[in-house]
Amino acid sequence: MTDSSHSSRPIQSLKISISGVRGIVGESLTPDLLVRFAQAFGTTMNGGLVVVGTDTRTSRRMVKHAVLSGLIATGCGTLDVGIVPVPTVQVEVERRRAAGGIAVTASHNPAQWNALKFIRGDGIFLSPHQAEELVDIYHQGQYRRASTRELLPVRCDTGAARRHMDLVLSHTDGERVRARRFRVVCDCCNGAASLITPEFLERLGCEVIPINTEPNGVFPHPPEPIPENLTQLADAVRASGADLGFAQDADADRLAVVDETGNPIGEEYSVALATEAVLRHTPGPVAVNLSTTALVDRIAARHGQPVLRTPVGEVNVAETMKRRGAVIGGEGSGGVIWPAVHYGRDSFCGMALLLSLLEEAGGTVTQLVNSFPRLVMLKAKTTCSTERAHAVVHEVTTRYAHEALDLRDGVKVTRADGWFHVRPSRTEPVVRVTVEAEGEEKALALQREVMALLG
């Protein structure tokens, strides 16, 4: 009976994966699905406290209330922290020693999408194994059902974002950064950071020119902070003569930078520059995923520190960092993880570290970028059925068997002057191909070589 809400249309937009449950509102992401998943998660929380926060999407209330209902029904306590960045939910889970958290956000997906991201008691997302367990509980439908006397009222707390900011700033030498009086344009994409970032930057002494800070969930451009989506920010930086521009995605875990000339330096630089900022003061290992720029290796080598590579996915990086005592890391897509603050991708950590580094380096963003070797990364994807994807990985592995291979997540081939990574997507029937080399020409040649193999 309750399944019937979406029985009449094909569900092509639903993605249940290790990164959560994603779907399109009005199609696959129905209240029924949401209350079931919330109950499945609540079942694993065993009556503990769950922190719930949302980004700014128009569907946030529909999704949040389904989540609250499902969690309450399983006897969980619920803390509604309102519209906040995803890292705020993670920090709040840790701070309150909660059993877990649910972030209602489809991150960099367009506005018609929404999703649930599940957070464990240590503030890290569910591991693949835990996510599979959750999906099993969801499918079995045997949820913990609390009796009336076990039901707990929803608590609300609007202070979580401020505490998160305070935490990041407590790890930052604010006085030195403030002295530079940076002029900064921030593009919050009308997302979860809209209400927070301007104040955050002001507390770092910046003169802030905010754009897209209406927290209405209507995104002025696709929320993924890649160069093609940053033209408005680039224009604003040029027009205002700012020192730099920051772009955050809808849930403010990812960060990209535009330099003082209005040129997007590329989201891969966020982790690389954060690595430089931390290793200057704090020696220790660095952890990034297999697809992250090799610039991180060059920077770590300068400081004599090892780089640990992990499969793609925030949880994989975060768990490795925690286990190996990494001092900085993240993902090349713009996700900086700074363990001093917490084990989650956090654009606020990224901004604090980048401004600190820029202050120390003393010059412009362009000068800072030019002080590192220039590597060119090319990303491509090619449609490929799931069965074929494994064959492709096998073929590449066989072909390059004599080279340095990493087979933990698809196949990655590393050479002295470049590398490539062939990885079947977990969410779409595509194979992703990332190559990086010194110079555009070498990178293109490498990309051609790999793509030819994929047919």
Partner 1 sequence: MRPLKLSMLGVRGVVGETLTPELIVAFAQAFGTWSGGGTILVSRDPRSSGEMVASAVFSGLLATGCEVVDLGVCPTPALQLAVRDSDSAGGVAVSAGHNDEEWNALKFVHGDGLLLNAFQGEELLDVFHQGAFTPADWTEMRPLRDGADGRDALLEQAKRVIAQVDRDAIARRQLRVAVDCCNGACSLTTPRLLQWLEVEPVLLNDTPDLPFPHVPEPSPATMSALRAVVKATGADLGLAHDADGERLALVTEDAEALSEEDTLCILADFWLAENPGPVVCNLSTTLAMDALAARHNIPLIRTRVGQAHVVEGIVAKGAVLGGEGSGGVIFPRYLLAHDALATAAWLLHFLAMSGETLSQRAASIPRYHTLKRKIPYGPERIYGALYQYREAVERDSQGAETDFTEGVRSVWSDGDGVPEAAIHVRSSTTEPFIRIIAEAHDPDRAERLAEEAIARLQTGP
Q: Could you say whether residue 7 binds partner 1 (CB under 8 A)?
A: yes
Closer to partner 1 by Cβ: residue 219 or 400: 219
Report in angstroms the alpha-carbon separations of 87 from 100, 174, 214, 240. Answer: 13, 21, 20, 30
Q: Binding residue for partner 1 (CB under 8 A) from 11, 135, 154, 378?
A: 154
Q: Could you say whether residue 406 binds partner 1 (CB under 8 A)?
A: no
Q: Could you say whether residue 57 binds partner 1 (CB under 8 A)?
A: yes
Here's the x/- map for partner 1, 114-133, by CB under 8 A: it reads as x-------------------
CA distance 386 to 147: 44
Which residues on neighbouring strands pair with residue 100, listed in sequence order? Answer: 50, 120
Q: What angle do CA 320, 114, 317 make, to 5 degrees?
A: 5
Q: Which of residues 325-344 bind partner 1 (CB under 8 A)?
A: none
Out of 28, 107, 270, 333, the active site residue is 107
Active site residue 270: no
Nearest-CA neighbor of 396 among 450, 357, 440?
Answer: 450
Q: Binding residue for partner 1 (CB under 8 A) from 11, 14, 135, 146?
A: 146
Q: Could you say whether residue 145 binds partner 1 (CB under 8 A)?
A: yes
Q: Could you say whether residue 382 binds partner 1 (CB under 8 A)?
A: no
Q: Could you say whether residue 153 binds partner 1 (CB under 8 A)?
A: yes
Helices 268-279 and 347-361, axial angle in degrees (round to 10): 60
Closer to partner 1 by Cβ: residue 44 or 292: 44
Pair type for strands 207-211 and 183-187: parallel
Query: Which backbone phi and psi does 364 adopt, to 5 degrees?
Result: -95, 170
Q: Could you say whether residue 27 binds partner 1 (CB under 8 A)?
A: yes
Q: Which of residues 28-47 bind partner 1 (CB under 8 A)?
A: 30-32, 34-36, 38-39
Closer to partner 1 by Cβ: residue 72 or 318: 72
Closer to partner 1 by Cβ: residue 100 or 217: 217
Q: Could you say whether residue 111 binds partner 1 (CB under 8 A)?
A: yes
Q: What is the 3-state secondary structure of 358-396? A: HHHHCCCHHHHHHCCCCCEEEEEEEECCHHHHHHHHHHH
Q: Could you say whether residue 426 binds partner 1 (CB under 8 A)?
A: no
User: What residues have CB less than 8 Å from 47, skipping those under 6 apart?
Assistant: 74, 75, 76, 77, 99, 144, 146, 150
Q: Binding residue for partner 1 (CB under 8 A) from 18, 45, 73, 354?
A: 73
Q: Could you say whether residue 365 binds partner 1 (CB under 8 A)?
A: no
CB 248, CB 193: distance < 8 Å: yes
Q: Binding residue for partner 1 (CB under 8 A) from 8, 383, 386, 398?
A: 8
Q: Could you say whether residue 81 binds partner 1 (CB under 8 A)?
A: no
Query: Other CB atoms closer than 10 Å to residue 10's CB: what's the count?
Result: 9
* Residue 445 beta carbon to partner 1: minimum distance, rounded to whole angstroms: 43
Q: In terms of C-beta distances under 8 Å and separation of at least 24 residues, what long-range contacts does 439-443 make, across chains too?
A: 439/374, 439/376, 440/376, 442/376, 442/417, 442/418, 443/376, 443/377, 443/378, 443/418
* Residue 59 beta carbon to partner 1: minimum distance, rounded to whole angstroms: 5
CA distance 16 to 172: 38
Q: Could you say whether residue 10 binds partner 1 (CB under 8 A)?
A: no
Q: Could you say whether residue 62 binds partner 1 (CB under 8 A)?
A: yes
Q: What is the dihedral of CA 413, 295, 188, 68, to 10 degrees?
A: 50
CB 17, CB 37: distance < 8 Å: no
Closer to partner 1 by Cβ: residue 78 or 248: 78
Q: Could you say whether residue 109 binds partner 1 (CB under 8 A)?
A: no
3-state secondary structure of 109: coil
List of residues contacting partner 1 (CB under 8 A): 1-5, 7-8, 24-27, 30-32, 34-36, 38-39, 57-59, 61-66, 68-70, 72-73, 111-112, 114, 145-151, 153-154, 217
Catalytic residues: 107
